[in-house]
Structure 1
């Protein structure tokens, strides 16, 4: 059935007045908009104060509606963040409980270690420092890895003494002069350092490659798995390097032999510390000669 062509609102005067008022407001708004457009085009400086006044009136209203919209839009995000924070809190509580167990175990082991040392009357050896000096140069392009220290025999530096930096082991003294010394870096192919893995005490050897990296290989167990991030420190075996000095960290998963990066980088190292050997070899003293009494 076709719609009626009579669009009159009926015999209600209220409806007729409302429709008429709507038309009047629409026409008046269009006229005002045209007047303002013409005024802004013909005289922009005079229109600027009116525009600023309108902006002052409408800005709080628009800001309120914008804040209300942001608040409504942030409700789903807030709910999601709430559940995410709850999950993270649960994970952190679980990690805290695990770390508390590890801490208690470490305290127990430390107490037992101290008690056994006291029982056996063991004495810890400490590598005394000799001198702190500056590394003035290092070989970066050659296959051999050396560094020059601006301290020598006049400062107490001797061949074989270990050299370390703030981050870890640097190498050992190879040659000495009056005021300079040559350091064999741990990345040199001739350098071999006895080390152990921190997480399980696995003994290994750290050998230089000549390219700035280190090969770590196991010495006691075959088919050993090395994981990225495994940290190796000196073991004290051999009597040159004191134990627990950081040496290298594994960078690639491997078995038996793994690639590692040294903690101390001589290219960026300013100062280094020369220490006494952990267990220096004592030179035998010649027997005292006795003279026969005169007859």
Structure 2
């Protein structure tokens, strides 16, 4: 005959033994607890010994658990530091950006101070300018190149007067109003300036190309006159431009014609000086080594 599908717990000796020992353990625990309460109440000195024994028994467990607790604290600290790293990174980036802005401002101020010092030395060393004014704009029309100067006839500026910056010659005034003037730049297609090659002293003539550069022609026939890197200055011939004003540097050569880059870039200039027209042209300087 098959055993029943659902048997009562009384049929399992294991369950019966488990219940029996559980009851016994509970009863023992209750008895021990009552005994400890009675000892603590009526025999305090004896209870101190029991507490000392319990302390001795729990000390090894505490010793073993302390490193685990410290490790858990360290892990918690590392996790907190990890989550704080993002905010710290943002703060550091903000500080770096602020430092970069301050560095840019300091470099800008240093550049501005150096430019003003060059202008001051220029005013002290050269002829006294008629007026110093801000360049407020520029215009392009085909090969024509102009700039607008915030100074006019009421400030003493008149057509034909040279205009220069600390870096070099900019051009000359073409027309004036009461408080503004139009300057024909060196690179204008209709501009021409007598020059001198500093290295040899030979004369040359610069003509604007209308593309931001000038074309320089040698005025004396012969061998190669130009070298890349030659510095070109005004010769003073014609009586308009004072002599020895820096003008341009030679960048390429094709026979007796060279292309040069002006030293003064109007697009990067803030201020320029209007100079008086030279009173009389100086004598033409002959090239070194040639007979007089």
Normalised to the residue count of structure 1, the TM-score between the two structures is 0.51
Using the TM superposition, give the Cα deviation of residue 253 of structure 1 relative to its aligned residue in structure 2, in angstroms.
Answer: 3.3
Q: CA 1:243/1:280 → structure 2, altered by over 3 Å: closer, same or farther? A: closer
Are residues 1:270 and 2:245 paired?
no
**Take 1:222 and 1:138, find their aligned partners in 2: how far apart are those partners?**
39
What's the secondary structure of 2:252's corresponding residue? coil
Equivalent residues of 1:225, 1:254 under 8 A apart: no
1:141 Cα offset (Å): 6.1
Say which SS state the counterpart of residue 222 (structure 2) adopts.
Answer: coil
User: Matches of 1:200 and 1:134 in 2, distance apart?
Assistant: 35
| 2:171 alignment counterpart | 171
Q: Is the 8 A contact 1:218 1:256 kept in 2?
A: yes
RMSD: 2.5
Partner SS state of residue 226, structure 1: coil
Conservation of the 8 A alpha-carbon contact between 1:194 and 1:205: yes
Taking the aligned partners of 1:183 and 1:244, their CA distance within structure 2 comes to: 20
8 A Cα contact 1:225 1:253, kept in partner: no
Name 1:222's counterpart in structure 2. Answer: 222
What CA distance in whole angstroms lies between the structure 2 residues aligned with 1:265 and 1:141? Answer: 18
Provide closer, same or farther for how the CA distance between residues 141 and 177 of structure 1 changes in structure 2, counting only shifts above 3 A.
closer
Q: Distance in 2 between matches of 1:129 and 1:280?
A: 17
Tell me, in whole angstroms, the C-alpha distance in 1 between the residues paired with 2:256 and 2:280.
31
Q: Where do residues 230-269 of structure 1 align in structure 2 (5 Å cutoff)?
A: 230-269=230-269
Alpha carbons 1:226, 1:254 under 8 Å: kept: no
Shift of 1:149: 0.7
Q: Summarize deviations over 1:76-135 as a string: whole Å, max 9, x none.
A: xxxxxxxxxxxxxxxxxxxxxxxxxxxxxxxxxxxxxxxxxxxxxxxxxx6431000011
What is the deviation of 1:189? 1.2
Question: 1:227-259: CA deviations, max 9, x gaps?
Answer: 110110001110010011111101113321011
Q: Counterpart in 1 of 2:201? A: 201
Structure 2 residue runs of 5 or longer lacking an equivalent are 1-67, 75-125, 282-292
Any runs of at least 4 consecutive aligned residues in structure 1 with deviations exceeding 6 A, and if so which?
none
For the residues of structure 2 that align with 1:160 and 1:152, how far apart are their CA atoms? Answer: 13
CA 1:197/1:138 → structure 2, altered by over 3 Å: closer, same or farther? Answer: same
**Are the equivalent residues in 2 in contact too, given 1:209–1:215 (CA < 8 A)?**
yes
CA distance in 2, matches of 1:129, 1:243: 15
Determine if the alignment matches structure 1 residue 131 to structure 2 residue 111.
no
Taking the TM superposition and a 5 Å limit, the aligned residue runs for 1:113-192 are: 127-140=127-140, 142-192=142-192
The TM-score with structure 2 as length reference comes to 0.52
Residues 151 and 157, structure 1, Cα contact 8 Å, conserved in 2: yes
Structure 1, residues 244-287: CA drift from partner, whole Å, max 9, x if none? 11111011133210111000111111100001011269xxxxxx
Counterpart Cα distance in 2 of 1:216 and 1:225 = 11
Question: Contact 2:218–2:225 (CA<8 Å) still a contact in 1?
Answer: no
Check the 8 A contact 2:132/2:274 in 1, yes or no: yes
Asked whether the equivalents of residues 144 and 189 of structure 1 are also in contact (C-alpha less than 8 Å), the reply is: yes
Of the two, which has the highest radius of gyration?
Answer: 2
- SS of the aligned residue for 1:264 comes to coil
